[in-house]
Homo-oligomer: A and B are copies of this chain.
Amino acid sequence: MFSTRRVVRIEWGDCDPAGIVFYPRYFAMFDHSTVLLIEQALGMRKLQLYDHYGFGGYPSVETQARFHLPTRYGDDVEIETVITKVGRASFSLQHRLTLGGALAVEGNETRCWVVRDDSRPGGLRAHPMPDDVAAKFRA
């Protein structure tokens, strides 16, 4: 399955008065890792995807995280993201955020491939993923 990794420096503004990362920030980090993985897997920028595939995005359907160790301002954490499942109209990813090799946060999420549903304003509905997308996610 396709995977990617990156190093993130924990910023002062990521942390709360307890001196540790305010946990919603981890989801922002994971979201960006997901974006980067998809761009790398499909070989184009997120905004190009809309034109290329005529789709409406890949919103999160469910997300979950376990917090094993806190991380703090100045820490250089590594986030490894891997596609764990490719379904018909959805796919799942796992994020492992480590600090010095120790697992600090583990995240799992499922995304849905959607197209615009013109039957209602701003409407979106699930749609089977194109074959080449599924193949590239499995690579």
Which single member of B17, B62, B72, B124 contacts A12 (CB below 8 Å)?
Answer: B17
**Copy number in this complex?**
4
Q: In angstroms, how far is the closest chain B Cβ from the Cβ of A107?
A: 10
- Residues on B with C-beta less than 8 A from A32 are 11-13
Per-residue interface assignment for chain A, residues 54 to 91, with 1 indicating a CB less than 8 Å from any chain B CB and 0 otherwise: 00010111111111001011100000000000000000
Closest Cβ of chain B to A4, distance in Å, is 14
**Nearest CB of chain B from residue A100's CB, rounded to whole Å:** 14
Nearest-Cβ distance from residue A50 to partner chain B, whole angstroms: 10
Asked, given contacts A15-B17, A22-B12, A31-B24, whether A62 binds B62 with beta carbons under 8 Å apart, the answer is no
Interface string of A28-46 (1 = CB under 8 A from B): 1001100100000000011
21 contacts between A and B (CB under 8 A): A11-B35, A12-B17, A12-B22, A12-B31, A13-B16, A13-B22, A13-B24, A15-B16, A22-B31, A23-B27, A24-B25, A24-B28, A24-B31, A27-B27, A46-B74, A47-B72, A59-B70, A61-B67, A62-B67, A63-B65, A64-B65
